[in-house]
A and B are shown apart, each in its own frame.
Chain A
Amino acid sequence: MLRVALPTGRILKDAERFLTAAGYAPAENLAATRKLLVPSQCGRLEYLLVKPVDAPLYVEQGLAELGISGKDTLMELAPDLLEPLDLGFARCRMVVAGRPEIRRSLDNTLSPVRVASKFPRVARLHFEKRGIPHVVFKLSGSVEIGAVLGLAHYIVDIVETGTTLRENGLVVHEELAQCSARLVINRAAHYSQFGAVGAVIADFARSTENQHA
């Protein structure tokens, strides 16, 4: 039986729907159960329910052979995992946002740009690549308020519809990446359980194609 790390939180419902469509329906309602390990009805997979930020770690350390993770989390953690499939759900954008006038006001300043983010690594790499001096504040939530109150000039965050940004008077200044749920695989498991892992990838790929057809 292969173990699949699944992130609790916003992706879980879509993930459950996807797994069911792919023929790997969980034996219990994943959103309702308090169990952390739940088998699939077919008995070929076992789901490990963990925090989104922990899912890639369990796969990387080999405690789960496969996992589903948001691209945003993968960009932040940069785990050493295979990432063969874009599962197509939980779509959002990783963006740099801020007050509309902020870019103009920063045009001629040499002092570091202040950035607030739940994704400090992504933020740091982006401003480093641009050669812009910066300070990154790691926030755990409600990142928008950081830009509203002036803690930071910019925020780096994920945006689904853009409503929260709009309602707080912020705009997108730059899009960094299109994010969605990805299938991730432990490198060793991919090879040492080649047949079993390959069969699951093929089933997931077929289901992804069907959803897009």
Chain B
Amino acid sequence: MADTHIRSRDLAFAPGTELVFGPQAARRTQVSDTIARVSRGWGFTDIVLPSFDDRRTFEGGEAHDADLYRFMDREGRWLTLRADFTLIAAKALAIELRRELRVIRASYEGRVFRFQAAGHGARVEQSQRGLEWVNARGIVHDAAALCIASECLSELGLKDATTVVGHAGFVAAALGDKGKSDRALLEAIDHKNAARIKELAHRRGLDEQRTALLAELPSLCGGPDVIARAREIAPMLSARHALDELEKLSQMLRESGAGVAPLFDLGEVRQFNYYSGMMFKIYHPRVGDDLGGGGRYDRLFDRYGLDVPAVGFGFDLARVTEAMPRTESGEAAAVQVNAKEGAVALREALALRAAGQAVSLAEGKR
């Protein structure tokens, strides 16, 4: 006899966990399948990665130490639930690269686990699908990554999404050695708060030229012309190098007829991350947060003793599903078969399935 004394609160899951069912789950599967199909078309093969690992694997990622989920295994070792795909993929692929240094195109899907504050919908689990292109040197791979992401969006009916491209090297050059680990300053840049940037730059004693450049960062957002505008106010060698790369990227996208016209945001900043060059995020008017993003991380494999350039990106499946236009399912209606008819019904269902028909076996009248 089933326990009938279950309280309602026993049926609740922990806040922030994912529970998706019915049409929403079908739509999410469609999103994932589409991204997988496009990835395969560009030569990527699936990689299945561990769900947890040593904490050190996730150092230097988006998640702060306090936001990681840890547990102790039977032998008393502390382990961390997967908080980031790129970091754990890098470790997995480093094993392969130490055997043979080659180009690897890997595509993954799964969940990451990291605490996010209530303002972000208190999400702890996030389903992602993305890809890592390892030993991919040069701007052409950056441009190709943007094209692959764009093809995914186009296949999903999200041509009206906006891709926003920045460069980790530009903001780093603008901040200089003094400013690059200044959390308050990074936060002000991230919030595009020019007045606060100016106030902090003065308080930190940064010189006038650097202060003026930092205060301009929030307005360096728009079409390719912002790259030229940035050249006028950012004379540092490393800033010029970053702008050269973005210029080449923009030109390559234009000349190849890719149909990808990103917005450039030179004030794009991501704290505590592994990006070293071009980085991007994708936005859509129907969703209040980014649908995904990625970029170049040429120094990530240093931690495994390898000098391997790489580029990659990932989509947030829940948000992409939310952005999708609401259309009726294209699937054929299922033929109803009455389960009360026993073996006869089952024979009929098998015959319909053999003919490729969708079947709904349920008790009830035809």
Docked CA distance A59–B16 (Å): 20
Q: What's the minimum C-beta distance from B64 to chain A, rounded to whole angstroms?
A: 14
Query: Contact string, B290-311, partner A, CB cutoff 8 A, digits 1/0?
Result: 1000000000000000000000
Residues of B contacting A60 with CB < 8 Å? 119-120, 288
Would you list which residues of chain A between 166 and 202 have a CB under 8 Å from chain B?
Answer: 186-194
Q: Are A186 and B218 interface neighbours, CB within 8 A?
A: no
Would you list which residues of chain B between 189 and 213 have a CB under 8 Å from chain A?
Answer: 191-196
Would you list which residues of chain A between 55 and 103 have a CB under 8 Å from chain B?
Answer: 56-57, 60-63, 77-84, 86
Q: Are A62 and B289 interface neighbours, CB within 8 A?
A: yes
Neighbour of B285 across the interface among A56, A77, A192, CB < 8 A: A192
Interface size of A by CB at 8 A reads: 24
Neighbour of A188 across the interface among B191, B193, B195, B288, CB < 8 A: B288
The yes or no answer to B313 lying at the interface (CB within 8 A) is no
Docked CA distance A81–B196 (Å): 14
The yes or no answer to B15 lying at the interface (CB within 8 A) is no
Q: Are A189 and B191 interface neighbours, CB within 8 A?
A: no
Q: Are A191 and B218 interface neighbours, CB within 8 A?
A: no
Residues of B contacting A56 with CB < 8 Å? 119
Docked CA distance A77–B119 (Å): 8
Neighbour of B218 across the interface among A61, A79, A84, A187, CB < 8 A: A84
Residues of A contacting B120 with CB < 8 Å? 60, 80
Residues of B contacting A189 with CB < 8 Å? 285, 288
Q: Are B119 and A57 interface neighbours, CB within 8 A?
A: yes
Docked CA distance A85–B265 (Å): 18
Residues of A contacting B218 with CB < 8 Å? 84
Q: Are A191 and B263 interface neighbours, CB within 8 A?
A: yes
Docked CA distance A193–B284 (Å): 9
Neighbour of A82 across the interface among B191, B284, B285, B288, CB < 8 A: B191
Q: Are A191 and B119 interface neighbours, CB within 8 A?
A: no
Residues of B contacting A61 with CB < 8 Å? 121, 288
The yes or no answer to B161 lying at the interface (CB within 8 A) is yes
| Count class of interface residues, chain B | 20 to 34
Residues of B contacting A62 with CB < 8 Å? 287-289
Docked CA distance A38–B20 (Å): 36
Q: What's the minimum C-beta distance from A188 to chain B, rounded to whole angstroms?
A: 4
Q: What's the minimum C-beta distance from B252 to chain A, rounded to whole angstroms?
A: 22
Q: Are A191 and B283 interface neighbours, CB within 8 A?
A: yes
Q: Report if A63-B162 is in contact (Cβ < 8 Å); known contacts: A77-B119, A191-B265.
A: no
Docked CA distance A186–B285 (Å): 10
The yes or no answer to B164 lying at the interface (CB within 8 A) is yes
Q: Report if A188-B119 is in contact (Cβ < 8 Å); known contacts: A84-B194, A84-B218.
A: no
The yes or no answer to B176 lying at the interface (CB within 8 A) is no
Neighbour of A187 across the interface among B117, B195, B263, B290, CB < 8 A: B290
Q: What's the minimum C-beta distance from B77 to chain A, rounded to whole angstroms?
A: 31
Q: Report if A187-B289 is in contact (Cβ < 8 Å); known contacts: A80-B119, A84-B194, A194-B263.
A: yes
Would you list which residues of chain A between 21 and 73 have a CB under 8 Å from chain B?
Answer: 56-57, 60-63
Docked CA distance A81–B192 (Å): 9
Residues of A contacting B194 with CB < 8 Å? 84
Docked CA distance A140–B285 (Å): 36
Docked CA distance A190–B285 (Å): 9
Q: Are A188 and B290 interface neighbours, CB within 8 A?
A: yes
Q: Are A79 and B119 interface neighbours, CB within 8 A?
A: yes
Q: Are A192 and B191 interface neighbours, CB within 8 A?
A: no
Q: Report if A84-B192 is in contact (Cβ < 8 Å); known contacts: A62-B289, A189-B288, A194-B222.
A: yes
Q: Are A83 and B191 interface neighbours, CB within 8 A?
A: yes
| Residues in A lying within 8 Å of B, measured CB to CB | 56-57, 60-63, 77-84, 86, 186-194
Query: Shortest 10 CB-CB distances between A and B: which pairs?
Result: A62-B288, A188-B283, A192-B283, A191-B283, A83-B191, A192-B285, A83-B193, A82-B192, A192-B162, A84-B192
Ordered by A's residue number, 10 sampled pairs between the chains whose C-beta atoms are within 8 Å are A60-B288, A62-B289, A63-B288, A82-B193, A187-B289, A188-B285, A188-B288, A188-B289, A188-B290, A191-B164
